[in-house]
Structure 1
Amino acid sequence: MAFWDLFVVALMPVLKVLIITGIGLVLALERINLLGQNARRYLNELVFYVFGPALVCSYLAETVTLESLEELWFMPVNILLTFIIGSFLAWMVNIIARTPQHLRGLVMGCCAAGNLGNLLLIIIPAICDESDSPFGDSTTCTTNGDTYTSLSMSIGAIYIWSYVYVIIRISANKAPSTLGENGSRIKSPEQTSETHAESTTEPFLQSITLEESSAPVDSSIVESEGKETFLQRIRKTAKMLTCGINLKMLLTPITIGAIIGFIIGIVSPIRDILIGDDAPLRFIESSILLLGEALVPSQTLIVGANLLRGLQRSEVNIVVIIGVILVKYIAMPIIGVGVVKAAAHFGLVGSDPLFQFVLMLQFALPPAMSVGTITQLFGAGEGECSVVMLWTYAVAALSLTLWSTFFMWLVA
């Protein structure tokens, strides 16, 4: 494939994202006000509770089988490595840039979570449709590419909503506050907004907060006076590591949708009833897919609407933006090449060049749109997230093209 053809293929999906982001920005203007604060919150709830679970469930049910899981087992490991490595590099960026405490989770989320679904859904089929594609026959390439993309999107969603969701939630609670005249702490506007959102429109978040606040305290561990003994410290640490894990926080709607999709895809009797042109209940799966397809435009519009606030007032500095760009487009792809090549050397990923290409590309993708959805859910860092998204996706137009060319040269 010629460099210019590859440049066009890689550029198109990024330009589409930027255009829809701009539409979201326009819809959020006061003169139009179709995506005001309340509208964004309600749209986010639809993404969180309906669109996301529906899309993940339908894609997994269609493409994942027990046989494919045996062949693609390394992809969840590869995606997990992108999150671990990205988090470590984000920790370094936060230290160097002296990022405010309540924005450190945002930086970590942007560096750890890549756009593992939306862009791959456009890039991979476009590459397969090229007449001189390095991945062989268009039909076979597209079929395999759909499987790789849907598994990537689903596993990525599970990691995002069970990891990035938690760290942004913890970071959002560290928003700065001031002292009142009587010495009481006064919440910042971001914290007030978050509290309002949790108490009125976020039953999922509210239930988590109530459970944590009402958790019983072991009186045998806490001492009223004196120092803790070594044994008591061990017991206290064990309590924090075990009882401190909230299962409801991990079982988000998207995670539940992924579990249902895996069950439908793996269990043959259920799959035969729901999936396929001859399936008697195929209209159920088609309806769920139709509903889930609203995820991508909805998330992108929200990011654009949040960008208006970021342009008006943003606490993110240029060092943070440069740091995220360096992590996502230089450090991560280089590390990704080493990871995939090492896995191929030890026979962990098979010989399919398209599969190796997707694994490498997972290290070079811009931040996930779901990060913007999560910041909107907690009412903290929406504007800052949109500014980071704007610059990272602008740079992605060139970065994805160059890295895609290099990755194809390596696997061809």
Structure 2
Amino acid sequence: MALVLLDIFVVALMPVLKVLLITALGSLLAIAQVDILGEEARKHLNNIVFFVFNPALVFSYLAKSITYKSMALLWFMPCNILLTFILGSALGWMIIRFSRAPDHLQGLVLGCCAAGNLGNMPLIIIPAVCREKGSPFGDPESCNTHGMAYASLSMAIGAIYMWSYVYNIMRIFSSRSCQGSEPDVSMPCIHSAGENRNPLKIQKSELLPLQQFSSVEDHVEVDVSTFEGTRKVHVPAEVKKFLRMVWTNINPRTLFAPSTIGAIVGFIIGTTPLLRKATIGDSAPLHVVQDSASLLGDAAIPTVTLILGANLLRGLKGSSIHLPVVIGILAVRYIALPLLGMVIVRGAVYLGLVQSDPLYQFVLLLQFALPPAMNIGTMTQLFGAGEAECSVIMLWTYVLAAVSLTLWSAFFMWLVS
């Protein structure tokens, strides 16, 4: 029994080590002596990932692996991922309330708690787990085929939720200007202790990063409670206020981010027999489209991981973020959500809502135990608020992911096998 557990632990450890090695390379490329991934280079790479690599990755995998039959079998996954976002947001809101997180960091806290790395990590972990000797998921080739379909759907759904929900949450909470002062895109709005901090001006961010850094118009007044002072506000009123703020400030244009468009096109081609026959497969007349998208998409994972490593270097220099905020995010992502995930997934299996495939159940459980999405860092750079604090959060969450994700992966593999 101990030998089996050790084998499972080694299988779960290998994918995490691969991510950490590439992350370390990104940090090395960002140091001043090398300066290949400096601040300007990271911004340009973020734009390429946002507009080219991520959409191509989502499109290529979905078009190839998603069909009507697979959608009928995997219908629970969108619900499962939605639950990770909802539960994460609720727990993040509790962190904001009890840790008294500053106004300009509230969106960052909510985003880190709500959005896990549903794209890159499953795409790295699942094939590696399938290839390792002693894997509990059977034949490596069959495991890899089915596992990539699960990971592709996870990535696509995660991208839709990320750029429709988390993007707008962070856009609303990102304070870009102070009342009576010029906007500063590099630093969040800082108020003195005697100022009234309720009226925050939140800039309506456009989808294009280069446009939003230069635009200083079209501001919306949003009343945000800071939970400071002696004023007592009931939790239901705070929740209603938060939901009303989100509903009235969502920009419909941001719902169709490039990754979301790539997912929609991939779904259409994958589930339309005529388009699928014309595009997918070596003998398809338009297979060059799929091949080109796959070639571009393959660059997304290493590029984003390198950027993450470069951003983590900034976290080593520290920031003004409060320690309770970091500890709260770590507790949500690595303790609370995995425990809730076990209850949800095992309950769904018991009720017959989830098929008995161990690999599918493993993917569903894994979605609750992932570190924050790397695109959170992209969003902080797009909005120009909380970049240093995001680097610190990412540093600690991904360093501890080497232990947490390995342990949870090993436990989940034992649980479903």
What is the CA–CA distance in structure 2 between the aligned matches of 1:246 and 1:96, rounded to whole Å? 29
Match of 1:232 in 2: none
* Deviation sequence 1:22-44 (CA, Å, 0-9, x none): 32223223333222222221111
The TM-score with structure 1 as length reference comes to 0.84
Q: Which moved more, 1:70-79 or 1:21-30?
A: 21-30
Match of 2:119 in 1: 117
Structure 2 contact 66–270 (Cα < 8 Å) conserved: yes
Amino acid at match of 2:17: L
Match of 1:185 in 2: 181
Match of 2:227 in 1: none
* Deviation sequence 1:203-230 (CA, Å, 0-9, x none): 57579987x659xxxxxxxxxxxxxxxx
What is the CA–CA distance in structure 2 between the aligned matches of 1:166 and 1:172, rounded to whole Å? 10
Match of 2:172 in 1: 170
Aligned partner of 1:336 among 318, 337, 341:
341
Aligned partner of 2:67 among 65, 73, 77:
65
CA drift of 1:161 comes to 1.1
CA drift of 1:401 comes to 2.1
Aligned partner of 2:330 among 321, 325, 333:
325
What is the CA–CA distance in structure 2 between the aligned matches of 1:252 and 1:200, rounded to whole Å? 7
CA drift of 1:364 comes to 0.7
Structure 1 contact 310–382 (Cα < 8 Å) conserved: no
Q: Which moved more, 1:292-301 or 1:8-17?
A: 8-17
Match of 1:126 in 2: 128
Matches within 5 A, 1:325-364: 325-364=330-369
CA drift of 1:266 comes to 0.5
Match of 2:147 in 1: 145
Amino acid at match of 2:187: E
Structure 2 contact 377–391 (Cα < 8 Å) conserved: yes
Q: Return structure 1 stretches of 4+ with deviation > 6 angstroms.
A: 198-201, 206-210, 239-243
Structure 1 contact 208–249 (Cα < 8 Å) conserved: no
Distance 1:386 1:17, change over 3 A: farther
What is the CA–CA distance in structure 1 between the aligned matches of 2:53 and 2:211, rounded to whole Å? 16
Identity of aligned residues (%): 56
Match of 2:163 in 1: 161
CA drift of 1:363 comes to 0.5
Aligned length: 381
* Deviation sequence 1:300-336 (CA, Å, 0-9, x none): 2222222333333412222222111111111111100
> Structure 2: which 5+ residue stretches go unaligned?
190-201, 221-243
CA drift of 1:50 comes to 0.6
Distance 1:190 1:80, change over 3 A: same
Match of 1:374 in 2: 379
Match of 2:228 in 1: none
Aligned partner of 2:321 among 316, 321, 339:
316
CA drift of 1:244 comes to 5.1
Quote the RMSD (CA, aligned, Å).
3.0
SS in structure 1 opposite 2:187? helix
CA drift of 1:270 comes to 0.6
Structure 1 contact 308–383 (Cα < 8 Å) conserved: no
Structure 1 contact 304–386 (Cα < 8 Å) conserved: no
What is the CA–CA distance in structure 1 between the aligned matches of 2:122 and 2:395, rounded to whole Å? 19
Amino acid at match of 1:185: S
Aligned partner of 2:388 among 383, 386, 391:
383
Amino acid at match of 1:118: N
Match of 1:100 in 2: 102
Amino acid at match of 1:165: Y
CA drift of 1:249 comes to 1.4
Highest CA radius of gyration, 1 or 2?
1
CA drift of 1:150 comes to 0.6
CA drift of 1:84 comes to 0.3
Distance 1:393 1:200, change over 3 A: closer
Match of 1:82 in 2: 84
What is the CA–CA distance in structure 2 between the aligned matches of 1:272 and 1:294, rounded to whole Å? 26
